[in-house]
Structure 1
Amino acid sequence: MLTPDDLSARTARAVSAATAAGAELGLQVDDARVLHDMFSVVVHLAPAPVVARVPTVLPPSYQNTPDVQAAQQRAELAVASRLAEQGHPVVPPSPLLPAEPVRRDGFSMTFWQFVETVSDAEPSMSERLEQTARLHAALRDYDSSDLRFWAPFANIPDGLAALQGRDDLLPASDLARAQREWTVIAPVLTSRGAFEAHFPDVELQVIHGDAPYYNMLTTSRGELWSDFEMVTVGAVESDLALLGPDDVATYNEAVTALGLRPVDQRVFRVTEAGARLAVVAALAMAPELPPLQDAVAPMIETLRTTPELHEL
């Protein structure tokens, strides 16, 4: 496990890399300030109105494949750019820099427009779910040819494999349960053809990929969509995984008003299982991010108390 000193040193390296990259691209950076530090270090390159997102903790599938990471970052920038151009409420890439990932000192980073957040705001979940419905409507016709199929689920097998023999992170009985369930759902979550054959009436489209109702910023300009790091092709159900029935009903009402289909409960059941396993598999990154152990603990308990899927 990395120590607190190790984590602080990594954050400092990320800030230094972002500052140097910004300066090389012509920004004035006198007072770089860390806004967030978890899987990525998010840095305001003040006084420039630019935020650098510097991923520092990567899933096993990214660690030795920088080209895969860069391709995902390009997809994120492209989707956010198009939404912004169409007038949708999104945090856009910085107009001061090219919308391309920049590699510096071992980090691949992206640059975004700085927006002032409202710290004491209490977001409305129902309004955010209505925004999620509008996001799905906005992404419905987006060209998906350059996007991966369900990118968030692609990290599950490597994550579970890395947890083998790590009872200190995940007991063997829990790992065995996770691996059995992954065997059941993997075919339709890793193959577009298999999904379409099993669920012929459920169309696929571009989706946010990571709980869009959570990844919104409350700003003086209203609620803005953000963090499209896992943008992907999939079914809208996976953007709603782990929500309760009342929240799903709110989304269904909003999406029906837009002329789109409500949630398919068969697909929702499968993507909920996938979402649980994705969180548990993320424990493979705990040696690099020790707070993950406490963060994932409730999901392990959920895994234990949720009936296991034995068939689709």
Structure 2
Amino acid sequence: MTNSSRAERAVRIATAAGRRQGLRADSPRVLHDVFNVLVHLAPDPVVVRVPSLTLVSAEEQAARQRRELAVAGWLADAGAPVVGPSPLVPREPVEAEGTSLTFWEYVHESATDGDSADPRALEDRFVEQTGRAAELHRLLAGYPGELPVLSSLVPATGSSLDALRKQPQQFLTTADLDRAEGEYAVLEALVGDLPAHFPDARLQTLHGDSPGYNVIRTATGPLFSDFEDVTRGPVEWDLTLVGPRGIAAYEQAGGGPVDRGLLDVMEGARMLQVVGALALVPSMPELGPMLEPVVAQWRTRAPLALPGVD
């Protein structure tokens, strides 16, 4: 299915679902089309997120979305700088054509001040946004609900690797897949009892998908968005692959000391997650070349191992 056909389907089901919710949806338009398709149901200030690449059932997707809506809604109610669930519809996923949809506030993204092509300016912006994640973590630490630990890793990455074993991809050798499955076994043990291996780890509610990368800049300030991987875990999981400047900005903003050893393990886990994402290539062939550089980087790392275990 091409990007265009994914987008066409997303617009169709988002529009129909929105109208069932009492929205007008007279002029729907696609804002984004990669792993999810985001559809603005203009003229209403509502954006529908339509998952377009997933290996899970609509029921499992809805369970994840309920956690996301609960956490993002709790933050929005507290006045946190986040894109919240739309107040115009109930805070519940909506099923449409075997897909589970969520409805969010539409926010106006501000201009990029002409620096979008300047790599240094982009890096500076990302570092600043990573520093802001320290305040987000302080807010998330107070979330009163129950969440699974590192659920986007275990069992999600295991399911992706199972799919890859059944339908191998050109980007992975048999040796790569054997290594990935061995690393996943390490992650299962780690997630099963993380404090036993990292006693000083700060376990709390997390964004789950590198919040510094998931920021929408508006005229009134930056807003964190896309909490679909919300989970409980160490703050280091939210700080993977941000680089030394990003870590320094986070610590200087009061995020507390980052455990470099745990960060290294979490970065290896993040790369393994990317390896698992190759299972989506049959649905989106252009994804393979996009992920290949991270897979190449993963190959250069020592395989994941539990601390103190050879």
TM-score under structure 1 length normalisation: 0.90
Within 1, Cα distance between the matches of 2:33 and 2:77?
Answer: 29
Deviations 1:125-148 (A, max 9, x none): 232122100000000111241x22
SS of equivalent residue, structure 1 residue 152: coil
SS of equivalent residue, structure 2 residue 304: coil
Query: What amino acid is aligned across from residue 272 of structure 2 in structure 1?
Result: L
Deviations 1:207-252 (A, max 9, x none): 0000100000011121100000000111110001122222212211
Equivalence map 1:140-151=2 (5 Å): 140-145=141-146, 147-151=147-151
Within 2, Cα distance between the matches of 1:178 and 1:208?
Answer: 25
Is 1:93 aligned to 2:85, yes or no? yes
Which has the higher mean CA deviation after the structures are superposed, 195-204 or 108-117? 195-204
The equivalent of 1:267 in structure 2 is 262
Equivalence map 1:5-154=2 (5 Å): 7-59=3-55, 62-63=56-57, 66-121=58-113, 122=115, 124-145=125-146, 147-154=147-154
TM-score under structure 2 length normalisation: 0.90
SS of equivalent residue, structure 2 residue 32: strand
Aligned length: 296
Query: What amino acid is aligned across from residue 12 of structure 1 in structure 2?
Result: E
Within 1, Cα distance between the matches of 2:264 and 2:112?
Answer: 35
Within 2, Cα distance between the matches of 1:310 and 1:139?
Answer: 29
Equivalence map 1:146-185=2 (5 Å): 147-154=147-154, 155-164=156-165, 166-185=168-187
In the TM superposition, what is the alpha-carbon distance from 1:167 to its structure 2 partner? 4.4
Within 1, Cα distance between the matches of 2:297 and 2:231?
Answer: 26
Within 2, Cα distance between the matches of 1:181 and 1:112?
Answer: 36
In the TM superposition, what is the alpha-carbon distance from 1:27 to its structure 2 partner? 0.9
Equivalence map 1:218-257=2 (5 Å): 218-256=217-255
Within 2, Cα distance between the matches of 1:134 and 1:292?
Answer: 33
Deviations 1:24-74 (A, max 9, x none): 111111110000011111000011111000112113xx13xx332112111
The equivalent of 1:307 in structure 2 is 302
Contact kept in structure 2, 1:144 and 1:233, CA below 8 Å: no
Query: What amino acid is aligned across from residue 161 of structure 2 in structure 1?
Result: L
Within 1, Cα distance between the matches of 2:60 and 2:98?
Answer: 15
RMSD: 1.6
Within 1, Cα distance between the matches of 2:245 and 2:5?
Answer: 44
SS of equivalent residue, structure 1 residue 163: helix
SS of equivalent residue, structure 2 residue 26: strand
Query: What amino acid is aligned across from residue 132 of structure 1 in structure 2?
Result: A
SS of equivalent residue, structure 2 residue 228: coil
SS of equivalent residue, structure 2 residue 48: strand
Within 2, Cα distance between the matches of 1:111 and 1:311?
Answer: 40
2:280 alignment partner, one of 285, 288, 295? 285
Within 2, Cα distance between the matches of 1:169 and 1:204?
Answer: 34
Percent of aligned pairs sharing the same letter: 44
Query: What amino acid is aligned across from residue 245 of structure 1 in structure 2?
Result: P
Query: What amino acid is aligned across from residue 182 of structure 1 in structure 2?
Result: Y
Within 2, Cα distance between the matches of 1:81 and 1:167?
Answer: 38
CA 1:49/1:310 → structure 2, altered by over 3 Å: closer, same or farther? closer
SS of equivalent residue, structure 1 residue 51: strand
SS of equivalent residue, structure 1 residue 151: coil
Within 2, Cα distance between the matches of 1:161 and 1:281?
Answer: 9
Contact kept in structure 2, 1:163 and 1:169, CA below 8 Å: no
Note the residue ranges of structure 1 that are not aligned, 5 or more in a row.
none
Within 2, Cα distance between the matches of 1:93 and 1:167?
Answer: 37
